[in-house]
Structure 1
Amino acid sequence: MIARVAHRRVAVDGVEVFYRESLPDRPDAPILLLLHGFPSASHQFRRLIDALGARYRLVAPDYPGFGHTKAPDGFTYSFDRLADIVEGFADRVLPGRFAAYLFDFGAPVGFRLALRRPERIAGLVVQNGNAYTEGLSPAARDFIALTPDTPGAERTILDLFTLEATRAQYEGGTADPELIAPEGWLLDQFFLDQPGRKQAQLALAYDYHRNVAAYPDWQAWLREHRPPTLITWGVNDPFFTEAGAKAYLRDVPDSALHLFDTGHFALEDHLPRIAPLIADFLDDNL
């Protein structure tokens, strides 16, 4: 059964947050908060929502600086502020407890939410969302080390916001690039090219080192709370390596770990294998 999906907006601290959510028939359907990555937005979850949204309530917001969400002039782009908005969004839109899907930028946003509101987190689905230093590739380490004072840093970061680089993030590491629909990276690039978006992403790039500094806090939270955790990981990710997926087992040893022969955007070509894993996880834990 294909899900009915609503596309809505809600005001959070001066930000007009766009989100999409499925409308299952069951009012008590388990809830999965879908937290997207860079350079994408909630549209990256459209096929997953179609596949599972008739049975579960899947809710996917766009962060400030991404997708259809509109932030006011002067908004400070940092991961703390993204988490502020997602926390406020969850308070307004999501009742009770929910599982969170952490992908890429969704990991630093989601773990901040978990530390602030642990009583609300019923489980985690982690897909190429890093929380361990050994999960950082050499390229990721070099990128994170960039500061505004690093010679050529701004040009290096801005080069990541080009159409060529956006497409490469989707197709890189895949066994069959023909399985990657071009609409994903084309839509990402459309939003990246909107006024003010590249400067927002530049600020987040310079702020990323704070996420690495917070890894010990996230790991301590995992050890303390031991949330039910499903890990699905594209092992050819040029940024977040297989070692980062396996590292979760130190702190949540009962996690279910599934590795896939693909790149960063594993849902794009492995949805038929990942969606049933998520369904079983939600059934078993929510």
Structure 2
Amino acid sequence: MAFPLVTRVTHRHLDVEGVRVFYRESLPERENAPVLLLLHGFPSSSHQYRRLIDALGSRYRLIAPDYPGFGQTEAPDDFVYSFDRLADITEGFVQKLGLERFSMYMFDFGAPVGFRLALRHPEWVAGLVVQNGNAYEAGLSEGARDFIALRPGQEDAVRGLLTLEGTRGQYEGGTGDVTAVAPDGWTLDQHYLDLPGRQDAQIALAFDYRSNVAQYGRWQEWLREHTPPALIVWGRDDMFFPEPGARAYLADLPDAELHLFDTGHFALEEKLAEIAPLVAGFLDRVG
């Protein structure tokens, strides 16, 4: 009986500007396999992509780093947390790996990081997989707008999202079958959130989120100018970035492939079996 290929995965660190970046990378069977850079969201880490890597990593080179302030990555005490700096470190990470052409999977915080990379290096981008990664005013729920409106002095409002209850709610909110969501994800995220200095880092990023909204116009212009191949997969019951945010991409990328799923923010947790084949087909087309 033929046994299915088991993905080989390596776990390493790479020093970038004094930040010890942790990343996980699949080792595909064939040379020159298409590359997919997996950009994680809040409050997660590269761990959120573990099942996708297992599903596709034997055919494609999947690379998932942890940002400063997340997961296993270690940043110096004086690191200044902003989305520009997250993009700086991710840019340096890509350059140190020697990547020249790849697709990006952009989820949640991965969208502002990925679009900053795209603006700086359009030649890098072979295609975009967008999963609940917003770039449009239409994709902001009332809750998201309230979050973006927070200002220094309202730290307690942010800390409410950084509790175990808040983290679990992000994973389970909007799901059709909560039993499909493994508790390991939100439990591990909370472990990292509770490490020394991590909540202060998240508060700084929360107050900087408005810098992303201010750049929406630039990102949309980039999409219209470069028209990258795009696959949009979206949990339509996302409490932060609802369905209109997915459909908004079609105004700038009318040829993009759009798939909506009856689930929430962390769509891969419940809908991996549906999303993974779409990602594979997309990489085959653009790879």
Which category describes the TM-score, using the shorter chain as reference length?
Answer: over 0.9
CA separation in 2, counterparts of 1:186 and 1:139? Answer: 23
* 2:113 corresponds to 1:101: no
Percent identity over the alignment? Answer: 67
Partner of 1:17: helix, strand, or coil?
strand
Partner of 1:209: 210
How far off its partner does 1:241 sit? 1.0
1:279 is matched with 280
Question: 1:238 maps to which residue?
Answer: 239
- TM-score normalised to structure 2 length: 0.98
Q: In structure 1, what is the Cα distance between the partners aligned to 2:20 and 2:62? A: 20
Q: Which of 5, 8, 14 is matched with 1:4 structurally?
A: 8
C-alpha displacement of 1:95: 2.5
Q: RMSD over aligned Cα, in angstroms?
A: 0.6
**2:144 match:** 140
1:37 equivalenced with 2:38 (yes/no):
no
Q: Give runs of aligned pairs for residues 8-19 of structure 1, distance below 5 A.
A: 8-19=12-23
- Partner AA of 2:87 in structure 1: A
Report deviation, 1:2. 2.2
Cα distance, 1:94 vs structure 2:
4.2
| Matched residue SS, 1:66 | coil
Query: Which AA in structure 1 matches 2:129?
Result: V
Tell whether 2:197 aligns with 1:196: yes
The separation in 2 between residues aligned to 1:69 and 1:137, in whole angstroms, is 30
SS of the residue corresponding to residue 206 of structure 2 reads helix
- Runs of at least 5 residues in structure 1 that lack an aligned partner in the other structure: none
Match of 1:171 in 2: 172
Does residue 52 of structure 1 match 2:56? yes
Gaps of 5+ in 2: none
- Corresponding position of 1:126: 130
Provide Cα deviations, 1:207-258, integer angstroms capped at 9, x if missing partner: 0000000000000000000000000000000000100000000111100000
| 2:220 matched residue in structure 1 | 219
Q: Secondary structure at the match of 1:272?
A: helix
> Distance between the aligned counterparts of 1:217 and 1:114, measured in 2?
11
**What one-letter code is carried by the residue in structure 2 that aligns with 1:220?**
E
User: Structure 1: how far apart are the matches of 2:24 and 2:159?
Assistant: 29
Q: Offset of 1:73 from its aligned partner?
A: 1.3
Which deviates the most, 91-100 or 172-181? 91-100
- How many residues align? The count is 283
For 1:267 and 1:241, locate their aligned partners in 2 and report how far apart those are by CA, in whole Å: 16
CA distance in 2, matches of 1:167, 1:245: 24
1:65 aligns with 2:65: no
How many Å separate the matches in 2 of 1:241 and 1:116?
28
Partner in structure 2 of residue 116 of structure 1: 120
Q: Displacement, 1:80?
A: 0.1
Q: In 1, Cα distance between the equivalents of 2:31 and 2:69?
A: 32
Inter-partner Cα distance in structure 2 for 1:8 and 1:227: 30
Amino acid at match of 1:192: L
CA distance in 2, matches of 1:142, 1:245: 20
Matched, 1:181 2:182: yes
Structure 2 Cα separation of the partners of residues 248 and 168 of structure 1: 27
Cα deviations by residue, 1:168-215 (Å, 9 ceiling, x for unpaired)? 000000011010000000000000000000000000000000000000
Q: 1:72, 1:217 → 2: CA distance?
A: 31
Q: Do structure 1's residue 266 and structure 2's residue 258 form an aligned pair? A: no
SS of the residue 1:114 aligns to? helix
Structure 1 residues 249-264: aligned runs within 5 Å: 249-264=250-265
